[in-house]
């Protein structure tokens, strides 16, 4: 079909134009702040030189300071735990709910929509509500656990350094579930029914169908959801501010919150920027893996 | 046979209700806390329904001049959504259709652009906006900054949707003499509408909750969105939790109602995938 | 000549300076919301001086330093602003604030000798005076007299020493009724430093001399009270306001906090609450208390220095109203006629005499950060109090020298 291929060739300009529209906007509004952060990570910056470019360069000093800080180890470890656990739990729960609500029963669609409430609440409010639920002395979670006989003593979710990170993870998973569930639902409903029907006729069981049909067909959605989930989790800031402020004693501190603390509470802005650049490096890794994965994804 | 199906449907419904109830508990807790007075909030055992419900809604609405705040939130969220949908849909489509190293680089750079939390982006943005005079149009400044923040997210989501639209339909339209843009608008966009709708909705809701940019870029109280108004409750010595939760409830209820009433139009599209 | 200009002329005569004839606009940043101090005072001032327009902007307390620094950097700074008292030195040391000394020397309203030593120290940097306190606050020990009686303690004899405080807290603690003996704030924020520093100062230490035996004793006592559940473990993350909330609800029998609590307490606490001075290490020891509240300062690059100072003078001149109208303690020697909550006022007024400023140091945020880290790592058991304080001392010595 020469006509098709030639019109595709002619249309290259169209694709490029579409991409450039977005890219231009992002370069103007996002690339500059990013570059500015990178620049500051090599400079000595304080509150009062924030807006001037005329600042002394200090080479890698900020990075050295950050990497030799006694808190670095625990903060990096916390960040990894926070991201992995949050993303895994969001995905499993979100996917489970998406599959569950894919079944036909009265009110399925309607009830599923209610899960979006978690996405509607502004971060500030979510943080405040969870801080009440998780409070040690009068929190309702402790009451539920004690009433069910699961625990004897009150658990100090937010003020015990061994628990505080997990408290933030619980709240963060709550926020992330609707996002995962709704997007995966969109993907699930885009899979044609006849594919399943054919498999059913072949005698494939539920699990087998899920593994051999659903998962491969959901590849694009899963890739998007996981990579965005990681990036969102790395950006989670409000919850830390509302629940633990990274404490007690850095017990729940993570890089994104630490970077802000260094910059805007200790006013060591060069060091704060250095931490943010280290985070960018992590995201480069995530983005690269995602982009690679799109090469193999199923195109209908 | 039919009866069995009925039964299992109701069993599913009951499980679904339990799941929804468990998930929505924090939202319920927000409403209940809004009705409790200071001491009852910290009471043990916690009360699941306030002893003396104290409706502060009218007073908070008045005192905080919430009408203005909510109007500004809506303006910002609508502005962001329009910009993002107009600028981003085509990009998501192109990234789904064209396979090349060059497109890989584009996708990669787009993801990179949204790596830092707003709290770290705001300082350079403030400096740049103040230099070019954008701070004189503070709501527009927030719309532009927030649009840049969520655009990568939108592109990645719509891209995944366009991947699922069969190429053959578009190719057939091109053979019939449609232009690229004609085929895009008449074939791809309608077929991907669910994904676009959901992504746009998520963007809209997220922008309603935008706080960091608005707080720094909008100095005039009359132009600030509801999140900034809410934060003004939460200072170190003035945190009036009943007020905070009442405010939050007033802020969130219309959105939840909007959902409940327009479920059919908004979310039910999900079950009937466009491709069936 | 309209009536309005005549009026403006007369007020100008009353208000004094001759600049009053021309129209003046002043930008004022505050942490207040409408209906609070700066809004009320600005309204009154504008009503009395129609030629002056004051544009107010509310900035959140925790954002003030950052927003101010950024606005100075981009040239969008206000003429006048509120600054929390330990941050004045930070801005003054960079030449960002106007030295008010020449104006004060000319002023009939402001007399430096009337300002209490704590607040005065907070606005003094090197040889200049960079602000005027808008008021002050300090902390003291609130206690629930009903619970004292129920536990067989004398409600007229609240604890006066640290040992007595510990024993009293022990007696009052009642896990079955969910009552903690005491509440305070060891939060990882300025509030933690604010609450802890007076304990150190009572034993002769200070922010630059923190690794002392007295400081170690204080931190040990804090730790003991939390470890033995005389105070809630959530003390580590609760603000003073939230801690006092548990006192008002009857879940804590004593609480350390400031006068800003009184309006809510008088409404929420349905028991006989009273206030006493902070206990001291032992009978006869030196007293100390925290100094809170902020200062009104003028930015160095204002183009209306005279008008700005006139407004500051007006604010300062109404110092006798701050307790009854806004809930602050006066920061200068004025007579408060018919104070609200007279018993509490008497205690806080006395406590003000011992209130010391934090710092002053241009590097205060880092010093305070080191102290907060020490408190938190000792209370969570990650370091011994002695080690934690020694580490804080290292950081602070680096910063100070």
ipTM of the complex: 0.83
d(CA C8, CA C6): 5
Fold observed for domain B62-272: MetI-like fold (1.10.3720)
d(CA B135, CA B131): 9
* Closest CB to B219 among C57, C260, C267: C57
Reference B121, options A6, C360, A276, C162; nearest CA is: A276
Q: Is the pLDDT of residue C144 over 90?
A: yes
Q: Return the pLDDT at A296.
A: 65
* Closest CB to A159 among C96, C234, C365: C234
* Closest CB to B29 among A15, A132, A283: A132
**Which H or E run includes B28?**
helix B2-35
Q: Which chain A residues are closer than 8 Å to C246 by Cβ?
A: 137-138
Question: Could you tell me if residue A1 is inside a domain?
Answer: no
| pLDDT band at B194; cut points 50, 70, 90 | confident
Q: Between residues 41 and 70 of chain B, which touch chain C (CB distance below 8 Å)? A: 41-44
Q: Which chain B residues are closer than 8 Å to C62 by Cβ?
A: 235-236
HEC readout, chain C: CCHHHHHHHHHHHHHCCHHHHCCEEEEEEECCCCCCHHHHHHHHHHHHCCCEEEEEEECCHHHHHHHHHHHHHHCCCCCEEEEEHHHHHHHHHCCCECCCHHHHHHCCCCCHHHECHHHHHHHEECCEECCEECCEECCEEEEEHHHHHHCCCCCCCCCCEHHHHHHHHHHHCEHHHCEECCECCCCCCHHHHHHHHHHHHHCCCECCECCCHHHHHHHHHHHHHHHCCCCCHHHHCCCHHHHHHHHHCCCECEEEECHHHHHHHHHHCCCCEEEECCCECCCCCCCCEECECEEEEEECCCCCHHHHHHHHHHHHHCHHHHHHHHCCECCECCCCCCCCCHHHHHHHHHHHHHEECCCCCCCHHHHHHHHHHHHHHHHCCCCCHHHHHHHHHHHHHHHHC
B113 SS3 class: coil
Tell me the two tokens of residue B26.
Answer: 């924090």
Q: Return the pLDDT at B235.
A: 61
B238 interface with C at CB cutoff 8 Å: yes
Return the residue matching tokens 């470019």: A53
Tell me what the mean pLDDT of segment A121-140 comes to: 87
Question: Could you tell me if residue A50 is inside a domain?
Answer: no
Contacts of A180 (CB under 8 A, 6+ apart): A90, A91, A93, A94, A95, A98, A225, A229
Reference B179, options A299, A19, A17; nearest CA is: A17
The residue ranking higher by pLDDT, B64 or A175, is A175
Tell me what the mean pLDDT of segment C326-343 comes to: 91
Q: Is the pLDDT of residue C87 over 60?
A: yes
Across the interface, whether the CB atoms of A33 and B121 are under 8 A apart is answered yes
Across the interface, whether the CB atoms of C376 and A249 are under 8 A apart is answered yes
CA B68 to chain centre: 20
Q: Which chain C residues are closer than 8 Å to A161 by Cβ?
A: 380, 382
Across the interface, whether the CB atoms of A161 and C70 are under 8 A apart is answered no
Tell me what the mean pLDDT of segment C308-328 comes to: 93
Q: Is the pLDDT of residue C164 over 90?
A: yes
Out of A53-57, A82-86, A232-236, give the one with best mean pLDDT.
A82-86
DSSP annotation of A42: T
Reference A248, options A188, A184, A167; nearest CA is: A167
* Closest CB to C260 among B43, B219, B237: B237
The structural domains of chain C, with segments of one domain joined by +, span: 4-137+291-356, 140-290+363-400
* Closest CB to B231 among C60, C73, C248: C60
At how many degrees (to 10) do helices B241-266 and B66-97 cross? 40
Question: Could you tell me if residue A255 is inside a domain?
Answer: yes
The rounded percent of chain C whose pLDDT value lies above 90 is: 77
Residues of C with CB under 8 A from a CB of A: 65-66, 69-70, 72-74, 94, 96, 178, 180, 187-189, 232-237, 246, 251, 365-366, 369, 373, 376-377, 379-380, 382
Asked if B39 and C248 count as a contact pair (C-beta separation under 8 A), the reply is yes
Out of A293-297, C5-9, C242-246, give the one with best mean pLDDT.
C242-246
Q: Return the pLDDT at A7.
A: 44
d(CA C233, CA B170): 64
Q: Return the pLDDT at A182.
A: 83
Total number of domains constituting chain A? 1
Asked if B64 and B247 count as a contact pair (C-beta separation under 8 A), the reply is yes
The rounded percent of chain B whose pLDDT value lies above 90 is: 19
Instruction: Give the global pTM.
Output: 0.86
How does pLDDT run across B153-185, given as a tens digit for each residue? 899 888 888 887 888 888 888 888 888 888 888
Q: Which chain A residues are closer than 8 Å to B206 by Cβ?
A: 119
Span of A16-20, A176-180, B264-268, C106-110 with lowest mean pLDDT: B264-268
| pLDDT band at A10; cut points 50, 70, 90 | low
Q: Options 3.20.20.150, 3.40.190.10, 3.10.580.10, 1.20.1600.10; which CATH number does C140-290+363-400 get?
A: 3.40.190.10
Asked if B159 and A224 count as a contact pair (C-beta separation under 8 A), the reply is yes
A294 interface with B at CB cutoff 8 Å: yes
B135 interface with C at CB cutoff 8 Å: yes
Return the residue matching tokens 């690229």: B180
Q: Return the pLDDT at C13.
A: 45
Mutation target vs C (from B235, B243, B244, B247; most C CBs, 10 A cutoff): B235
Across the interface, whether the CB atoms of A122 and B273 are under 8 A apart is answered no
Does domain C4-137+291-356 correspond to CATH entry 3.30.479.20?
no
Tell me what the mean pLDDT of segment C355-370 comes to: 90
At how many degrees (to 10) do helices A72-102 and A219-235 cross? 140
Question: Could you tell me if residue A74 is inside a domain?
Answer: yes
* Closest CB to B239 among C73, C241, C251: C241
Across the interface, whether the CB atoms of C268 and B37 are under 8 A apart is answered yes
Q: Is the pLDDT of residue A8 over 50?
A: no
The residue ranking higher by pLDDT, B189 or C143, is C143
Q: Is the pLDDT of residue B71 over 60?
A: yes
Q: Is the pLDDT of residue B108 over 60?
A: yes
| Helix/strand number for chain B, H first, E second | 14, 0
CATH number, position A217: 1.10.3720.10
Asked if B156 and B110 count as a contact pair (C-beta separation under 8 A), the reply is yes
Phi-psi region at A249: left, alpha or beta (left = phi > 0; alpha = psi -120 to 50): left
Tell me the two tokens of residue C333.
Answer: 């020697």
Cis peptide before C141, with omega less than 30 degrees from 0?
no
Asked if B12 and A105 count as a contact pair (C-beta separation under 8 A), the reply is yes
Across the interface, whether the CB atoms of A249 and C188 are under 8 A apart is answered yes
Across the interface, whether the CB atoms of B156 and A107 are under 8 A apart is answered no
Alpha helices by DSSP H, listed for chain A, are 2-10, 12-26, 32-40, 61-68, 72-102, 108-114, 117-120, 123-133, 140-147, 164-189, 193-201, 206-209, 215-217, 219-235, 238-243, 255-264, 269-295
């Amino acid at each position: 079909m020469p006509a098709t291929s030639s019109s595709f060739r002619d249309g290259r300009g169209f694709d490029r134009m579409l991409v450039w529209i977005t890219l231009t906007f992002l370069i103007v509004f996002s690339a500059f702040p990013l570059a500015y952060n990178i620049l500051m990570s090599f400079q000595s910056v304080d509150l009062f030189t924030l807006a001037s470019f005329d600042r002394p360069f200090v080479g890698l000093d900020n990075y050295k300071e950050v990497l030799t800080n006694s808190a670095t180890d625990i903060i990096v470890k916390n960040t990894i735990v926070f991201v992995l656990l949050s993303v895994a739990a969001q995905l499993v729960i979100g996917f489970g709910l998406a599959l569950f609500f894919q079944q036909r029963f009265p009110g399925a669609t309607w009830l599923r929509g209610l899960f979006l409430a978690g996405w509607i609440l502004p971060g500030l409010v979510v943080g405040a509500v969870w801080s009440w639920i998780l409070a040690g002395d009068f929190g309702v979670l402790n009451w539920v656990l004690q009433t069910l006989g699961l625990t004897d003593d009150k658990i100090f979710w937010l003020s015990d350094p061994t628990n505080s990170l997990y408290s933030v993870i619980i709240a963060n998973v709550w926020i992330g579930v609707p996002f995962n569930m709704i997007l995966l639902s969109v993907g699930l409903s885009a899979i044609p029914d006849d594919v399943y029907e054919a498999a059913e006729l072949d005698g494939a069981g539920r699990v087998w169908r899920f593994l051999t049909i659903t998962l491969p067909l959901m590849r694009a959605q899963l890739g998007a959801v996981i990579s965005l989930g990681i990036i969102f989790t790395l950006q989670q800031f409000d919850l830390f501010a509302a629940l633990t402020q990274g404490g007690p004693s850095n017990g729940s501190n993570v890089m994104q919150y630490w970077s802000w603390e260094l910059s805007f509470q200790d006013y060591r802005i060069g060091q704060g920027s250095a931490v943010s650049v280290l985070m960018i490096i992590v995201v480069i890794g995530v983005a690269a893996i995602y982009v690679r994965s799109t090469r193999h994804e199923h195109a209908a | 046979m039919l009866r069995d199906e009925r039964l299992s449907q109701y069993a599913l419904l009951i499980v679904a209700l339990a799941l929804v109830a468990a998930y929505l508990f924090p939202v319920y807790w927000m409403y209940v806390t809004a009705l409790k007075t200071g001491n009852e909030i910290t009471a043990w055992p916690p009360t699941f329904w306030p002893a003396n419900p104290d409706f502060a809604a009218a007073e908070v609405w008045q005192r905080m001049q919430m009408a203005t705040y909510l109007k500004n939130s809506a303006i910002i969220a609508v502005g962001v959504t329009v910009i993002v949908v107009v600028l981003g849909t085509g990009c998501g489509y192109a990234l789904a259709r064209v396979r090349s190293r060059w497109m890989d680089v584009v996708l990669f750079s787009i993801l990179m652009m949204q790596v830092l939390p707003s709290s770290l982006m705001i300082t350079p943005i403030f400096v740049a906006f103040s230099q070019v005079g954008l701070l004189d149009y503070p709501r527009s400044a927030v719309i532009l900054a927030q649009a840049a923040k969520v655009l990568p997210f939108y592109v990645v989501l719509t891209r995944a949707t366009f991947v699922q639209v069969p190429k053959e339909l578009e190719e057939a339209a091109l053979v019939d003499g449609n232009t690229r843009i004609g085929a895009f608008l008449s074939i791809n966009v309608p077929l991907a509408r669910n994904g676009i709708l959901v992504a746009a909705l998520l963007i809209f809701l997220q922008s309603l909750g935008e706080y960091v940019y608005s707080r720094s870029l909008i100095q005039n109280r009359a132009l600030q969105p509801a999140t900034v108004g809410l934060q003004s409750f939460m200072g170190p010595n003035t945190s009036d939790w009943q007020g905070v939760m009442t405010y939050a409830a007033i802020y969130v209820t219309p959105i939840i109602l909007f959902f409940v009433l327009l479920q059919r139009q908004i979310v039910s599209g999900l079950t009937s995938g466009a491709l069936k | 000549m309209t009536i309005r200009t005549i009026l403006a002329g007369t007020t100008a005569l009353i208000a004094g300076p001759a600049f009053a004839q021309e129209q003046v606009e002043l930008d004022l940043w505050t942490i207040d919301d409408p209906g609070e101090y700066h809004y009320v005072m600005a309204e009154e001032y504008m009503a009395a001086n129609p030629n002056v327009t004051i544009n107010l902007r509310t900035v959140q307390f925790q954002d003030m330093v950052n927003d101010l620094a950024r606005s100075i950097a981009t040239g969008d700074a206000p003429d006048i602003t509120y600054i929390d008292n330990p941050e004045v030195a930070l801005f003054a040391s960079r030449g960002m604030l106007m030295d008010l000394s020449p104006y004060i020397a000319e002023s009939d309203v402001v007399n430096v000798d009337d300002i209490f030593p704590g607040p005065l120290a907070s606005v003094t940097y090197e040889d200049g005076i960079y602000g005027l306190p808008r008021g002050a606050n300090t902390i003291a020990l609130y206690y629930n007299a009903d619970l004292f009686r129920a536990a067989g303690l004398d409600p007229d004899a609240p604890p006066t020493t640290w040992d007595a405080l510990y024993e009293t807290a022990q007696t009052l603690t009642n896990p079955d009724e969910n009552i903690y003996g005491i509440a305070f704030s060891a939060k990882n924020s300025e509030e933690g430093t604010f609450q802890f520093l007076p304990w150190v100062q009572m034993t002769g230490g200070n922010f630059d001399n923190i690794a002392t035996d007295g400081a170690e004793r204080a931190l040990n006592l804090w730790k003991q009270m939390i470890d033995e559940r005389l105070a809630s473990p959530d003390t580590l993350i609760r603000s003073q306001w939230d801690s006092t909330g548990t006192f008002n609800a009857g879940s804590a029998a004593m609480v350390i906090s400031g006068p800003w609590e009184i309006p809510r307490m008088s409404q929420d606490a349905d028991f006989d609450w009273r206030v006493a001075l902070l206990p001291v290490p032992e009978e006869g020891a030196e007293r100390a208390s925290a100094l809170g509240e902020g200062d009104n300062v003028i930015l160095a690059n204002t183009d209306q220095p005279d008008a700005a100072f006139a407004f500051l003078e007006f604010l300062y001149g109404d110092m006798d109203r701050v307790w009854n109208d806004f809930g602050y303690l006066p920061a200068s020697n004025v007579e408060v006629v018919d104070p609200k909550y007279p018993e509490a006022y008497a205690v806080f007024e006395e406590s003000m005499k011992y209130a010391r400023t934090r710092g002053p140091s241009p590097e205060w945020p880092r010093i305070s950060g080191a102290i907060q880290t020490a408190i938190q790592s000792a209370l969570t058991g990650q370091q011994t109090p002695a080690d934690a304080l020694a580490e804080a001392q290292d950081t602070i010595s680096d910063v100070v020298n």
